[in-house]
Every structure is written in C-alpha cells, then in structure tokens.
C-alpha cells in the first residue's frame, strides 16, 4: 500500500481526491480502506487531511456572535470501484473540485445556486429566550417542538443577517461524509469517543464527556440530547427530502428504509435517485441487522410508518452504545417536545 500525499500524487488524478471503500460490510463498523480515485489502496500521510483544502479548511468562526464551524464546499461520488483488487467494492470519494463523475454535495446548494461554505453550530443549540444560540457554558435548549426550534433559528435573521436555520439532513450528511472519509470507519464511539451516552441527565454543551463526540470542532454530534433535524421526513413510511438544489421544496422519493416500526442497524445504504434527490448523499439503511455488532453503521435507526414523522439524530445521555453519527429516529410529530430533545443551529 503506497503512502498518499500532495507531493507523491502523480498521474491523471488530482491529489485533492480521497475516498474510502467498504471492503466488508457489518462486523462493528465495517472494514474500510483508503482509496485514490481509481479505487487503488493508499495510505494518506499523517498531515494529508490537515493539508487538504476541504478537511483542513474546516474552521471555527464567530458569526453574529455565535460559535459556528465553517465547512468549505466539496464534491462527492459514491460508486463501485471498477477494476483492481477492490473491484466491485462500494466507495465514497470527496474532492474539493468539480471533477468528472462528482457532484456538489447538496448542503452547498441554496436557492438554486452553489455556495462556497456552510456554517454549523459548534455546540448543541441553546436559546436567549427568542433566538437560537450556539455558545459554550450552557445547558442545551430542550422541551421545544420542531416548529419552535425552526422559528428560533430563523429569528436570528434580522437586519443584515441572513441564512440562519435549523440544521438539515444535508448538513448532517455532509459531516457524516467528511467523518467517514477521514476516519475510514463508521464506529464513531470507538474511533473518537463515547460522548455523553451513559449518564442520567443532561450536561452543558461543552462538558468534557459531551466534547468526546467532536469532529473538527463540532461538539456533541452524538449524545447529551437528541437533535431535531430539518429537510427529512417520512409520510406513512415513505421518505420525503428537500430537493438537492437548495430550494427547501419537499420531494417524495417513493423510497422506504430497510424496516419500519423496528429498531435496526444499517448494513448497506439506499442509493435510489432521480433529478431532484439522491440517496447517495445520505446514509439511510437499505439492508439492516437487529444486532449492533453485525452493523456497518453501529448506531440505531428507527422509522415510523403510520403518519408524518420528523427525525432527531445522534442519541441522548443514556442511549449507550446505540448512539452515534449514524443514529436517527424518525418518529416524532413536528409538535413533539421533550427534556431530551434539542437542536443545532446552521447557516448558509
């Protein structure tokens, strides 16, 4: 296996393309290998991701007084490897440039246009009473409905300030893509830290165990409180998504996850697509197992089937090993509110 870095990359493929191939599904997070654009096994140098214009470009920012994390736009490709030792293995690639076969991740589309970056709340959301916040040293805001959180996020858009919103399925999946390609595993608790998942109460958004669940400055991605998420819902089990062009228009995909009204752990992921949606952007179980130890993504997924439901992600303070970056429960009415259900701010 060759080392891969900016200086060593040669041939027709630019060095800013990096991917991972799923060599084997299941078994506690899957077996993964770093690959170049052709699917050849590589080993990134120790500094590769910090030097990469996307991964290394993720930065803490203060925006309208809020602690946010800027993520530069990137392009993705999900497809089987063609040829070589990894022939037929499914792979996920990221590029900082628009290369043939890649498409811009939909988190970087707004109102039908490309945008250069998105901003995600560094911390789980809190509230100043009327506006959603992302600040340290506070308990996350809970016991509010999806619609209330949506309103508190939008309330930041006053004067010259625009673009604040509740984070969406596309913000969430952009982070999942980045995490997977950088870490070559879906077992985030084992790779990064358990997070606050084995306690009896909520903690501050920057508490030490909450901060175990951090990826490139985004704190508490799993554990502490569940987080409402926009842009995704099920209607009688059928998945509806926002369109990929950033217009926030609902599209019925006519697709269902691996099981409904049942706790599942993903083995493979939906890939259906048309002009307005692409499940290649997301990580929704296409096949699943009832054993977390046999899962490619060892995190719980649950989708209701009886009416319109909206998702919350990540897991909360006592979810234990089932919490994680691929955890999603889509079983809440928009009016639901609970002491273990919070949110996260975003901005485009």
Q: Are residues 275 and 195 in the same domain?
A: yes
| pLDDT tens for the 348 residues of the chain, in order | 444 444 434 333 345 999 999 999 988 789 999 999 999 999 999 999 999 999 999 999 999 999 999 999 999 999 999 988 999 999 999 999 999 999 999 999 999 999 999 999 999 999 999 999 999 999 999 999 999 999 999 999 999 999 999 999 999 999 999 999 999 999 999 999 999 999 999 999 999 999 999 999 999 999 999 999 999 999 999 999 999 999 999 999 999 999 999 999 999 999 999 999 999 999 999 999 999 999 999 999 999 999 999 999 999 999 999 999 999 999 999 999 999 999 999 999
Q: Are residues 110 and 121 in the same domain?
A: no
- DSSP per residue over 239-293, as a string? EEEE-TTSS--EEE-----S-SSS-BEEEEE---B-SS-BGGGS--EEEEES-GG
Task: Return the closest-CA partner of residue 181 out of 216, 209, 230, 210.
Answer: 216
Q: Are residues 107 and 158 in the same domain?
A: no
Q: How many domains does the chain have?
A: 2
How far apart are the C-alpha atoms of 286 and 267, rounded to whole Å? 7
Identify the domain boundary among 114, 142, 176. Answer: 114
| Domain span holding position 94 | 2-62+72-114
Residue 252 lies in a domain: yes
Q: Are residues 58 and 126 in the same domain?
A: no
Q: Are residues 19 and 90 in the same domain?
A: yes
> Is the full-model pTM beyond 0.85?
yes
Residue 67 lies in a domain: no
How far apart are the C-alpha atoms of 211 and 99, rounded to whole Å? 35
Residue 257 lies in a domain: yes
Identify the domain boundary among 81, 114, 147. Answer: 114
Q: Are residues 100 and 125 in the same domain?
A: no
């Amino acid at each position: 296996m060759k080392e891969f870095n900016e200086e060593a990359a040669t041939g027709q493929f630019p060095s800013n393309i990096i991917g991972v191939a799923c060599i084997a599904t299941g078994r506690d997070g899957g077996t993964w290998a770093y690959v170049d654009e052709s699917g050849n096994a590589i080993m990134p140098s120790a500094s590769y991701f910090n030097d990469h214009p996307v991964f290394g470009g993720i930065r803490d920012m203060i925006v309208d007084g809020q602690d946010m994390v800027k993520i530069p736009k990137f392009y993705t490709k999900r497809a089987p490897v063609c040829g070589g030792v990894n022939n037929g293995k499914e792979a996920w690639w990221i590029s900082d440039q628009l290369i043939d076969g890649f498409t811009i991740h939909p988190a970087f589309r707004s109102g039908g246009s490309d945008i250069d970056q998105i901003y995600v709340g560094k911390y789980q959301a809190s509230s100043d009473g009327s506006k959603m916040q992302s600040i340290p040293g506070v308990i996350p805001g809970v016991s509010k409905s999806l619609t209330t959180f949506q309103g508190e996020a939008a309330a930041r858009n006053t004067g010259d300030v625009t673009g604040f919103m509740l984070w969406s399925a596309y913000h969430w999946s952009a982070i999942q893509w980045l995490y997977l390609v950088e870490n070559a595993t879906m077992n985030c608790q084992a790779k990064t830290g358990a997070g606050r998942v084995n306690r009896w109460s909520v903690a501050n958004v920057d508490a030490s165990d909450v901060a175990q669940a951090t990826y490139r400055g985004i704190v508490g991605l799993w554990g502490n409180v569940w987080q409402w998420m926009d842009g995704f819902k099920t209607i009688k089990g059928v998945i509806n998504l926002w369109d990929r062009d950033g217009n926030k228009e609902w599209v019925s995909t006519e697709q269902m996850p691996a099981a409904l009204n049942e706790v599942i752990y993903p083995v493979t992921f939906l890939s259906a697509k048309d002009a307005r949606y692409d499940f290649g952007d997301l990580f929704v179980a296409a096949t699943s197992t009832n054993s977390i130890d046999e899962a490619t993504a060892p995190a719980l997924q649950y989708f209701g089937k009886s009416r319109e439901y909206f998702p919350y992600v990540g897991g909360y303070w006592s979810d234990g090993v089932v919490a994680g970056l691929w955890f999603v429960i889509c079983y809440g009415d928009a009016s639901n509110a609970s002491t273990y259900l919070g949110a996260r701010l975003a901005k485009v």
